[in-house]
């Protein structure tokens, strides 16, 4: 759309304001690409750094998709194990398939410590208190209702061991997540905006992270 508007606006008969509209779309596209190709990976590197992992933890990535967070976590857990759970919806992420994520784990050299599961984040198949860390990136907000998003958070807390940490980065509802987590007794709940590096087109599509500890 940006290119079309700029080209039409630059024609002799075209309205010059179309160039401004086109430039607006182009800037949004550049910001979006920067986030999806680099920004989100950089932001998650910092979020994983903040967890100060020992290297032997059990980590679950909810809605892992093709493995952006899952595989970055696996790199940091040489003697641990990372589990990714997903419904592999291509409507939410292009090329989304368990075999693609498994291939990415092979390519990253971490396949020996990665386990993939097909399942719904609102009804996790894992026993209570089985993980040290639960992460989720841009996945819980794909659930339609706030009630089901809260259900996914409840499940994340249920499968965490006492003292375990949950880290959720999402475009919408982060403040609601924080309120809900406080309401169900999670400790050290904090929410913060991850800045321009995690904007999907502009500040109106900014990503925030919610972190909490299971008491």
Ligand X SMILES: C[S@@+](CC[C@H](N)C(=O)[O-])C[C@H]1O[C@@H](n2cnc3c(N)ncnc32)[C@H](O)[C@@H]1O
Binding piece for ligand X, criterion CB under 6 A, among 71-79, 81-89, 124-132, 160-168: 81-89
Least distance in angstroms from the C-beta of 40 to ligand X: 6
Among positions 43, 71, 72, 139, the unique one binding ligand X when judged by CB under 6 A: 139
* Chain center to CA of 200: 12
**Cα dihedral: 153, 157, 158, 159 (round 10):** 110
Contact status: 121 vs ligand X (CB under 6 A): yes
Contact status: 65 vs ligand X (CB under 6 A): yes
Binding mask 19-58 for ligand X (x = CB under 6 A): ----------------------------------------
Residue 24 or 200: which CB sits closer to ligand X? 200
Among positions 43, 59, 68, 186, the unique one binding ligand X when judged by CB under 6 A: 68
Q: Phi first, then psi: give them for residue 124, nearest 5 degrees.
A: -70, 145
Nearest by Cα to 133 from 47, 195, 193? 47
Nearest by Cα to 140 from 113, 104, 166? 166
Residue 69 or 189: which CB sits closer to ligand X? 69
Least distance in angstroms from the C-beta of 141 to ligand X: 8
Contact status: 114 vs ligand X (CB under 6 A): no
- Tell me the two tokens of residue 56: 């032997």
Contact status: 101 vs ligand X (CB under 6 A): no
Least distance in angstroms from the C-beta of 91 to ligand X: 8
Cα distance between residue 159 and residue 167, in whole Å: 13
Least distance in angstroms from the C-beta of 148 to ligand X: 8
Residue 63 or 164: which CB sits closer to ligand X? 63
Binding piece for ligand X, criterion CB under 6 A, among 7-15, 74-82, 117-125, 196-204: 117-125
Among positions 28, 93, 207, 208, the unique one binding ligand X when judged by CB under 6 A: 93
Task: Give residues in contact with ligand X (CB under 6 A).
Answer: 63-65, 68-69, 85-89, 92-93, 96, 120-122, 137-139, 142-143
């Amino acid at each position: 759309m940006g290119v079309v508007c700029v080209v039409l606006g630059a024609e002799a008969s075209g309205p010059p304001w179309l160039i401004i509209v086109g430039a607006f779309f182009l800037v949004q596209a550049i910001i979006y690409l920067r986030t999806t190709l680099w920004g989100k990976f950089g932001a998650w590197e910092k979020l994983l750094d903040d967890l100060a992992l020992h290297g032997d933890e059990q980590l679950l990535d909810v809605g892992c998709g093709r493995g952006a967070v899952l595989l970055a976590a696996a790199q940091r857990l040489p003697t641990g194990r990372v589990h990714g759970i997903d419904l592999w919806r291509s409507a939410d992420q292009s090329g989304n398939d368990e075999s693609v994520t498994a291939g990415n784990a092979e390519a990253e050299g971490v396949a020996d410590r990665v386990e993939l599961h097909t399942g719904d984040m609102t009804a996790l198949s894992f026993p209570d208190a089985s993980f040290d860390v639960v992460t989720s990136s841009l996945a819980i907000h794909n659930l339609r209702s706030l009630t089901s998003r809260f259900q996914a958070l409840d499940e994340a807390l249920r499968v965490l061991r006492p003292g375990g940490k949950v880290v959720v980065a999402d475009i919408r509802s982060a403040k609601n997540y924080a309120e809900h987590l406080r309401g169900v007794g999670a400790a050290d709940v904090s929410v913060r905006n991850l800045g321009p590096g995690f904007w999907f087109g502009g500040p109106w599509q900014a990503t925030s992270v919610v972190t909490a500890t299971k008491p």
